[in-house]
Structure 1
Amino acid sequence: MSRALSVDLRVRVLGAIAAGATHREAADRFGVSAASVSRWRKRERELGEVRPGPLGGDRRSGRIEAHHDAVLAALGPGRDATIEEVRGSLAQQGLAFGFGTIQRFFARHAITRKKERTRE
């Protein structure tokens, strides 16, 4: 996984721009891409800081989590519906989620899909 470049480098690059260099000139001088310089400049303008934002992590599970109750209701009273049955039930409500999305939702909430063996 990639790492963010140091804050020190970002400050020096943005200092060169403040001194009159173009984005491309500053990028060539410090060995970074012009696109990175543009992103750092935008971040400095909008947030007032040049520190990098967080990297990685889950950015999309919030969409299905917003419909937590609907997903649990789609499982049925015995919580024994298959993932495809849950997908179909949610689709009837206008909610489209992929098989893997629902599978990860179940894993996060410890909902298992194993069948219980009958006991005598």
Structure 2
Amino acid sequence: MAKPLSPDLRLRIVRAVEDEGMSCRGAAGRFGVAPSTAIELVSEWRSTGACEAEAQGGDRRSARIEGHAAEILSLVEATPDMTLAEIADHLFKVHGERFAPSVVWRFFDRRNITFKKNIARQRAGSAGRRR
């Protein structure tokens, strides 16, 4: 992933346009950046008075399911043996938002919530392996 432009370079581009009267394309050529970059920097400077880089990367997809965190946790507390697919189905029926079971699993994984297997639910061992 490309690194953001340094704050110093951003300010030099803006000053070239604002103080020296250069065009955005001229400033872009002088500093070796794309014209669209210079145009966006100057536009941001004029609207907000700053031209700082925004944070890069990070999780952009989990915000949807995190909005239902309290409901999901209360569902699991009320019905501990509920499957991931059942939780996803519940969210679809109640809120109309579709989540894959893997998204529900990642929700629990981010919170380090694990569910231990219940001995009463384990299958019988394979035939012929008696102790």
What is the aligned partner in structure 2 of residue 69 from structure 1? 70
Matched-pair identity in % = 35
What is the aligned partner in structure 2 of residue 21 from structure 1? 22
TM-score, normalising length from structure 2? 0.75
Q: How many aligned positions are there?
A: 119
What is the aligned partner in structure 2 of residue 54 from structure 1? 55
Deviation digits for residues 9-29 of structure 1, max 9, x if unmatched?
A: 111111111122222221112
Pick closer, same or farther for the CA change 1:95–1:104 going to 2, 3 Å: farther
| Unpaired runs of at least 5, structure 2 | 122-131
Separation (CA, whole Å) in 2 of partners of 1:66 and 1:83:
17
1:102 lines up with 2:109 in the alignment: no
Q: RMSD over aligned Cα, in angstroms? A: 2.3
Q: CA deviation at 1:55?
A: 1.5
Detail structure 1 runs of 4+ shifted over 4 Å in the superposition: none
Q: Would you say the 8 A contact 1:83–1:102 is kept in 2?
A: yes
Q: Would you say the 8 A contact 1:43–1:49 is kept in 2?
A: yes
Separation (CA, whole Å) in 2 of partners of 1:46 and 1:114:
54
Separation (CA, whole Å) in 2 of partners of 1:35 and 1:101:
36
Q: Which moved more, 1:21-30 or 1:57-66?
A: 57-66
Separation (CA, whole Å) in 1 of partners of 2:27 and 2:99:
44
Deviation digits for residues 65-108 of structure 1, max 9, x if unmatched?
A: 22112222443624222211111111110242422332221112
Structure 2 counterpart SS, 1:55: coil
TM-score, normalising length from structure 1? 0.81
Instruction: Choose 1 or 2 for highest CA Rg.
Output: 2
Structure 1 counterpart SS, 2:65: helix
